[in-house]
Amino acid sequence: MKFYVCKDCGYEHTSIVVYQRHMKAVHNKVPINTCKICSEKFKGNDEFDKHLQFTHGTNHWDLNLAMKQVLRDMKKLD
């Protein structure tokens, strides 16, 4: 399993979303998200969400993009 380790306190998280939530709640740090599609950088999840929705017509994260691809592939098999 892949862990996201907090550089400030060493706490391990199993998902990037939980990790970012930890950074914001515990250390008051806003995550920087890099768009995998156009390489633009965004402060915080909301800005990134909006960017994905309005610029690329998708609604969440590279993780979700990967999941969508899996679902698409599954549908193709039907």
Which residues contact Zn ion by CB under 5 A? Answer: 6, 8-9, 11, 26, 35, 37-38
Q: Please, are residues 16 and 4 in contact by the beta-carbon 8 Å criterion? A: yes
Nearest Cα to 40, choosing from 30, 50, 48?
48
Nearest Cα to 31, choosing from 54, 14, 11, 49?
49
What minimum distance in Å lies between the beta carbon of 18 and Zn ion? 11
| 3-state SS assignment for residue 58 | coil
Residue 18 or residue 71: which is nearer to Zn ion going by CB? 18
Residue 27 or residue 71: which is nearer to Zn ion going by CB? 27
What minimum distance in Å lies between the beta carbon of 33 and Zn ion? 10
Residue 9 or residue 66: which is nearer to Zn ion going by CB? 9
